[in-house]
Amino acid sequence: MIKFNFIKMKRTLLFSMLFAASAVSTSAFAGERATTFYPLQTLMAANKTPTPIPDGVKIENNVVVSWPAALIPEDRQIILPEGIVGIGYQAFAETPLRNIVLPSTLRTISKEAFFASALQAVVIPEGVETLGEAAFSNCHSLIAASLPSTIKNMGNNMFMYCDKLNNVQLKEGLTAIGESAFFKCTALANIALPKSLESIGDGAFNGCSALEEITIPNGVTEIGNNVFDECSFLQKVNFPENLTRIGRSAFHNCVGLSGISLPEGLKTIDGLAFYGCTSLFEITTPEGLELLGASAFEDCTALASVTLGKGFTVLNQKAFKGCKALQQITLPEGVEELKPFVFQNCTALTEVTFPSTLKNIGLNALVNCSSLSKVTCNATTPPVLKGNVFNKTPNGKTLVVPESSIAQYQATQYWGAPSFATVVTGINSLAPAEEQTADVYTLQGVRLGTKAIWPSLPKGLYVVGNKKVVK
């Protein structure tokens, strides 16, 4: 075994760098959250003297290669001596180690170095440049962790399944958080991301069910796939100004998310991005959005207001399926195709307006929109319907189309009777006959008489009280 000439340790314990730590256990979103606090002082080493290196511990070239579980001291704490430059692959994996003080000479912590150990807190000193993949994953007792400014890239799966971790300090200088870095860290309620951050890997915070709010720095241009998937307590997201993409299932089943403000430069909302966000009540997409993915807002059951900006040409399948609070929707000019099931089961939807650019509507696009009463289609040529897109909607709806296209719509299958009882043009609002109280005019502006003449008029379209009315 290599012997060391230990230099005098002048540092104070690095654990003083951390703020007060607490462990949070989280129940379901609707339930109460029980919190137990663990003062960080109780996790500190009792002295500053390096731990003697017992026989059986393997150290090579100043790198701790392995420290067997049986050789962990009885107090379950280790103070590594100055001169150690690295901790090797699985060096402390699956050991009862509870507390470790790392030397200022340390530069590398290798893959799975502390995997499934009993570590409760860790302060990684300045100077460490490499953190290997899953270095602290499955540390089920880990409560607090601090990373230095010298770490630029946090490896994949870094704190995966650290289900008591609730106190994380990330320093300026960090540019990348790896995939699944905090996967299933179910006690993590708050985390401050440094301004230097540029990328967040897929699934980085997936399953962080206690996370309440997140501010994403302006250097981040993409939110990867599943990044905040199943963050059931997440209520507020502050998006960066330069964001261009929200990845697939990025906020899937974030049932506490009630309102979001999307940045103007956003180009892509991928499939399932906000699927199952059952508290989300309003959404406005910016002008220039190029992709609104399949099931992007599916089963957002509280979503009552949707404003879509121009940009995308295809509204993908199931984009708003199951949005049971949605009552009206207007698709922007430029949209050419609706994919199947796009508004399926929007049971409160009463009115929908299609743009003049629409060419195709997919199978069952509005199936089971059981309250639908009015459809406005501004396309001069009836869009091609893939089957009865209005299946399981009320018969007798009103269809509003360009004046020159009435006959063409009436003659096209599924655009006429019985699905639509009336095909009319240019109607801004309808009122039943019994409500008419003003003079009656033809569409050409010829006065026919007072309201008393109404019962004697033939069926048709008239202007009454500045409204166009069907009799």
| pLDDT (tens digit per residue) in 173-229 | 999 999 999 999 999 999 999 999 999 999 999 999 999 999 999 999 999 999 999
| pLDDT (tens digit per residue) in 361-416 | 999 999 999 999 999 999 999 999 998 899 999 988 999 999 889 989 988 988 98
Q: Which candidate, 189, 268, 137, 229, places its Cα nearest to that of 26?
A: 189
Q: Give the pTM.
A: 0.82
CA dist 248 and 245 (Å) reads 10
Average pLDDT for the chain: 87
List, in sequence order, every residue forming a beta bridge with 200; answer none if it has no partner: 177, 223
> Could you count the other beta carbons within 10 Å of the beta carbon of residue 445?
7
Dihedral of the CA atoms 122, 169, 262, 187 (nearest 10)? Answer: 50
- How confident is the model at residue 445, as a pLDDT? 56
- Reading the block at residue 439, the tokens are 């003079």
Q: Are residues 199 and 219 in contact, defined by beta-carbon separation less than 8 angstroms?
A: no
| pLDDT (tens digit per residue) in 253-304 | 999 999 899 999 999 999 999 999 999 999 999 999 999 999 999 999 999 9
| pLDDT (tens digit per residue) in 428-445 | 444 444 444 567 766 555
- How confident is the model at residue 75, as a pLDDT? 94
Residue type, 110: S
| pLDDT (tens digit per residue) in 302-346 | 999 999 999 999 999 999 999 999 999 999 999 999 999 999 999
CA dist 38 and 18 (Å) reads 13
In sequence order, the 6+-apart residues with CB closer than 8 A to the CB of 129 are 107, 108, 150, 151, 152
Q: Are residues 374 and 393 in contact, defined by beta-carbon separation less than 8 angstroms?
A: no
Q: Which long-range contacts (CB under 8 A, 24 or more apart) does 72-75 make?
A: 72/96, 72/97, 75/46
- Reading the block at residue 295, the tokens are 């099931």
What string of DSSP letters covers 205-264?
Answer: TTT-TT--EEE--TT--EE-TTTTTT-TT--EEE--TT--EE-TTTTTT-TT--B----T
The kind and range of the H/E element at 409 are helix 406-410
CA dist 303 and 299 (Å) reads 9
- Residue 144 main-chain phi, psi, to 5 deg: -135, 145
DSSP letter at 126 equals T
pLDDT-based confidence at residue 446 (cuts at 50, 70, 90)? low
